[in-house]
Structures are given as structure tokens and as C-alpha cells.
């Protein structure tokens, strides 16, 4: 099996190292606090001499600056650095140049599960960078989960990752607002749960409430039919929802910002179009 060095042994990096070991790989481990490697060494990993000790370096740290600090002035000739740390797209593109300047090749990645999900069914990561380099190490990386290649632009893996996180955060925060509002009237979160689950399911489906697909098709076509469900009507309804939240005595920062966005799109003359027209205002702040 292939050799791999895991750099960064927080919850994510440690789980990656354990998963590589379980898959039969020869694993080296390195962390700035050296003692964090002890449990993994006890499981069969080898303590790396440095963060650059190996040909395939899988990095999981708090930031790209941490990678710079860990690798320091080390040469990376012929090495492949796969970095699963979070950062901005431009930061990842700059990191690719930094690694190349030291003779190595960077593959950027965004892992789409928390540490307990690594290596489990359904786990996957977005990867970007040179596809031929990724393909050489695909079999090793598949121990962590599915390998989803999204393009040569090093910033793309993080953009896909952050795009899904935006949906995750905002959807679940809206769910929290809903539970808080209903809770003020004595409705428990578990009583409401079946209805929230059904909506989340329908939004990802193909029926009349399948808005993930509906909006994607409208945005691709650049046409947002309103019909009997115009944006103006949606803005009025959102205003009523904001009133309900206020009357319930709960926090309203995010819903207020959403209403401002809807009202702006309406004021820009697109109120008779459908909900999808809001993306035109999002693209032109």
C-alpha cells in the first residue's frame, strides 16, 4: 500500500491517520505539538522527522498559514501536498504557487463530513488542482471517502465546500428561528420536526416543491417566471413572518437581512418575476 504522511493531528487529522492505518497504508504523522502523535504511534504510525517527511503529504490544519509555518523553508521537490484545510479560494491559489515555488504540487480539498464520518459510507471530498497528479493518489485518498474532482483551478474545491456550507448554515439557522418562534407558543421542537423534515426532503426532490432543481434550471436559463407566485408576494409574506418572529420575542437579524434583499429585488423592478430573480441582486451587490 502507498505511504502517506498526515500533517496536523487535531480531531480531523487524527481521524484521517487512523483511517489510513485501518486501510493498510504505511502512515507517518507530524504535529507541531509532538505529543499529539503518541496515540497514533501506538496504533502503528511512524513519527515523521518533519512536516515534509514523505512524498504524499496530507495536511489538515486550522489554516493555510499553519501549513506555511509547519513546512517552513523545506524543499518539496517531487512531493504532492494534499491540503484539506479551510481558507478562501484566492488563498488556496496563492498556496499552489507557494508549493510550486518549492518544487512540489498542491492538491486542494474540502472534506464534506465531520471527523466521525471520515472513511464511512457517504463520505466524500472535493478536490481541485492537476487531475493527473490527483489520479496517481486517488486510491490512497479514497480511504477517506469518495474523491470528487471539480477542476484544475485550485480555488474550486474550497468554493464547492463553502457553497454547501452556506446552504447548511443558513438552512439550519432558519430551522432554529422556526423552532424558537413555535417554542414561544408552547410547540416543542420534536412536534415540529416531521414538518421540517418533509420540507427539507421536498426541496431536494423533483415535485412542485423541488426548488433546488427549479432554481438551478431557472438560473441556468436566466429566466424567472413569476406567474401566481411572484417575488413581490414572497416579500410581503416574508414581512409577515418577520412580524411573527418579532411578536414571539426572538432574534431577527438574519430574517431582516433576507427581507431587505427581497425588497431590494422588488424595488429594482423584478417583483412580478419568481423567487429566482433574487440571484440577480445577489450577483450585483
Report all structural domains of the chain as residue ranges with CATH numbers, in order of start: 3-152 (3.40.50.720), 160-283 (1.10.1040.10)
pTM above 0.85, yes or no: yes
* CA-based nearest residue to 62, from 33, 25, 28: 33
The CA–CA distances, whole Å, from 107 to 100, 123, 148, 222, 263 equal: 11, 18, 12, 33, 42
**Which residues sit opposite 4 in a β-bridge?**
27
Phi-psi category of residue 127: left, alpha or beta, with phi > 0 → left and psi -120 to 50 → alpha:
beta
* CA-based nearest residue to 153, from 219, 121, 200, 108: 108
Cα(119)–Cα(149) distance, integer angstroms: 17
Written as nine digits, the cell of 279 is 440571484
Residue whose C-alpha cell is 438560473 = 219
**pLDDT at residue number 229:** 83
Q: How many CA atoms lie within 13 A of 30 on its CB side?
A: 21
Q: Give, rounded to a whole angstrom, the gap between the first and last alpha carbons of the chain.
A: 50
Cα(273)–Cα(54) distance, integer angstroms: 56
Q: How many CB atoms lie within 10 A of CB 80?
A: 22
Residue whose C-alpha cell is 496536523 = 8
Q: Per residue of the chain (285 residues), what is the pLDDT tens digit?
A: 569 999 999 999 999 999 999 999 999 999 999 999 999 999 999 999 999 999 999 999 999 999 999 999 999 999 999 999 999 999 999 999 999 999 999 999 999 999 999 999 999 999 999 999 999 999 999 999 999 999 999 999 999 999 999 999 999 999 999 999 999 999 999 999 999 999 999 999 999 999 999 999 999 999 999 887 899 999 999 999 999 999 999 999 999 999 999 999 999 999 999 999 999 999 998
**Which residues sit opposite 106 in a β-bridge?**
81
Amino acid at each position: 500500500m502507498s505511504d502517506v504522511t498526515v500533517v496536523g493531528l487535531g480531531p480531523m487529522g487524527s481521524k484521517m491517520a487512523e483511517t489510513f492505518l485501518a486501510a493498510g497504508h504505511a502512515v507517518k504523522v507530524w504535529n507541531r505539538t509532538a505529543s499529539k502523535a503518541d496515540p497514533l504511534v501506538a496504533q502503528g504510525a511512524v513519527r515523521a522527522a518533519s512536516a515534509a517527511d514523505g512524498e504524499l503529504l496530507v495536511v489538515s490544519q486550522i489554516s493555510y498559514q499553519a501549513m506555511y509555518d509547519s513546512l517552513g523553508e523545506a524543499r518539496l521537490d517531487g512531493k504532492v501536498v494534499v491540503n484539506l484545510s479551510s481558507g478562501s479560494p484566492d488563498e488556496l491559489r496563492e498556496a499552489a504557487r507557494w508549493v510550486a515555488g518549492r518544487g512540489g504540487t498542491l492538491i486542494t480539498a474540502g472534506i464534506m463530513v465531520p471527523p466521525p464520518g471520515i472513511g464511512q459510507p457517504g463520505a466524500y471530498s472535493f478536490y481541485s488542482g492537476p487531475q493527473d497528479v490527483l489520479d496517481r493518489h486517488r486510491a490512497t485518498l479514497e480511504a477517506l471517502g469518495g474523491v470528487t474532482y471539480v477542476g484544475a483551478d485550485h480555488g474550486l474545491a474550497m468554493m464547492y465546500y463553502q457553497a454547501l456550507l452556506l446552504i447548511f448554515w443558513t438552512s439550519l439557522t432558519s430551522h432554529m428561528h422556526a423552532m424558537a418562534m413555535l417554542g414561544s407558543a408552547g410547540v416543542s421542537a420534536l412536534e415540529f420536526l416531521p414538518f421540517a423534515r418533509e420540507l427539507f426532503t421536498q426541496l431536494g426532490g423533483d415535485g412542485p416543491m423541488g426548488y433546488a432543481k427549479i432554481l438551478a434550471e431557472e438560473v441556468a436559463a436566466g429566466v424567472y417566471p413569476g406567474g401566481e407566485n411572484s417575488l413581490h408576494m414572497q416579500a410581503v409574506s416574508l414581512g409577515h413572518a418577520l412580524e411573527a418572529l418579532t411578536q414571539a420575542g426572538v432574534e431577527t437579524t438574519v430574517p431582516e437581512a433576507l427581507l431587505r434583499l427581497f425588497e431590494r429585488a422588488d424595488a429594482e423592478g423584478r417583483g412580478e418575476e419568481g423567487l429566482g430573480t433574487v440571484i440577480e441582486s445577489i450577483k450585483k451587490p
